Amino acid sequence: MTDESVEVIEAEITPHAPGIDNVRGALWMLASALAFTVSTTLIKYLGDGYPAALQGFYRQLAGFVVLLPWMIRGYPKVFHTTRLGILLFRSGAGAVALIMSFYSYQKMPLADANALSFTRTLWLVPLAFFVLREKLGPLRIGAALVGFAGVLIILHPTGHGITLGLPQLAGLAAAFLFAMTITGMKVMTRDHSPMTLLVYAAGLGLIFATPPALFVWRWPSLPDLGLLAAMGVSGTITQACYIKGMAIGDAGAMAPIDYTRLVFATLAGVLLFKEIPGWPTIIGAAIVVGSTLFITLRERQLARRGAAMAVASTPSDRPALFEVVRLLRALPDDGLDAGATGAVVSIYDKPREAYEVEFIDGAGKTLALLALTPDQFERLEPTP
């Protein structure tokens, strides 16, 4: 996805949890891919008259307006944070990445730009090693190297050298910056609610996107204003459908469906912009998609294996994986009252003890998926 707030969901690959519905999840993911294609098509169509920086401003404005009711309702708790510096950095990086990705979609064929956007998963591999100090296995390293080889194929369409102009550099840089925001979120989601993170991403993102837009500002005509609004709204719909799909479907099963947007982008490019992808683009995109999909599913497999080990090794005085717990204090910004019950779906020990808890209603629908500290809940049925 092009928006950093969505990448949080993709980064948090959690064990299989109650309330999974892969059919409905797949439909939401397809809706997300279609909305994303509408958004990128409008980005390209409006590119001649509205530079990427100006489009980025309208995109951030749309997200801010959508989240404004939650900001007002959740004030001041939704703004509470102990890591303002990290939030400022990731919001700034996300705003720059958004502008760069818009520029790549304006100047490159839609299929090529989409293929490069998937490299965010490849960039996560070195970032996980250097920033999070994670241990990398040979399969993960090998898959990342193969994926970057696919990028070289995409950038080598003529056989006379690598095509690496500003649009290609912008696409790769945007993917790298989005990967950096994901890396930060792997830590932030352990002691910040998803709504808090989204609120800061929308508010700070709009602030960071405003100065670049002022340098290229122009007042849109009424028809163009409608198209810019549609671009922003479709981007927000993309986020909402993606998050919904990931929430009700198994993350490992949902991840491959996100790649359908490459198919939709190719069709849009052919039908609307006469962009016929060459064999280098097709082969390179297939390699990039294959390698990123392998990394995603491999991480899913390792997460499940770690979950099984956590069940076996959890001390008796700590809640076990899938144990039911009860919320001690209300979380109004997440729509949860004191006494709400949920199941532990993931356990963290670093940077401090925390538990990811899924709260569902009687019909099995997910109400919230939150990272909680031990002082926020009690064990409903202590393990013997």
pTM of the model: 0.77
Reply yes or no on whether the pLDDT at 342 is more than 90: no
- pLDDT (tens digit per residue) in 2-53: 455 554 444 443 444 445 678 888 999 999 999 999 999 999 999 989 999 9
Q: Which amino acid is at 15?
A: P
- Round the average pLDDT of the chain to a whole number and report it: 83
Q: Tokens at residue 282, please?
A: 């097709």
Q: How much is the pLDDT for 351?
A: 62
Reply yes or no on whether the pLDDT at 63 is more than 80: yes
Q: How much is the pLDDT for 46?
A: 96
Q: How much is the pLDDT for 228?
A: 94
- pLDDT (tens digit per residue) in 128-137: 888 777 788 8
Reply yes or no on whether the pLDDT at 337 is more than 50: yes
CA 176 to CA 168: how far, in whole Å?
12
CA 137 to CA 47: how far, in whole Å?
42
Q: How much is the pLDDT for 341?
A: 86
- pLDDT (tens digit per residue) in 144-181: 999 999 998 888 755 455 668 899 999 999 999 999 98
Q: How many CB atoms lie within 10 A of CB 142?
A: 12
Please provide the DSSP assignment of 158-206 as one string: SSSS----HHHHHHHHHHHHHHHHHHHHHHHTTTS-HHHHHHHHHHHHH
- pLDDT (tens digit per residue) in 271-302: 999 999 988 899 999 999 999 989 888 877 77
- pLDDT (tens digit per residue) in 250-266: 766 777 888 999 999 99
Reply yes or no on whether the pLDDT at 316 is more than 80: no
Reply yes or no on whether the pLDDT at 189 is more than 90: no
Q: How much is the pLDDT for 35?
A: 95
Q: How much is the pLDDT for 13?
A: 38
CA 376 to CA 243: how far, in whole Å?
25
Helix, strand, coil percent content, the chain, rounded in steps of 5: 65, 10, 25
Q: How much is the pLDDT for 115?
A: 93
Q: How much is the pLDDT for 363?
A: 60
- pLDDT (tens digit per residue) in 66-112: 889 989 988 888 888 888 888 999 899 999 999 999 999 999 999 99
Q: Is 277 exposed, middle or buried, given 0-12, 13-18 or 19+ CB atoms closer than 10 A?
A: buried
State the pLDDT confidence band at 243, using cuts at 50, 70 and 90.
Answer: confident
Angle at 3 between CA 75 and CA 37, to 5 degrees: 130
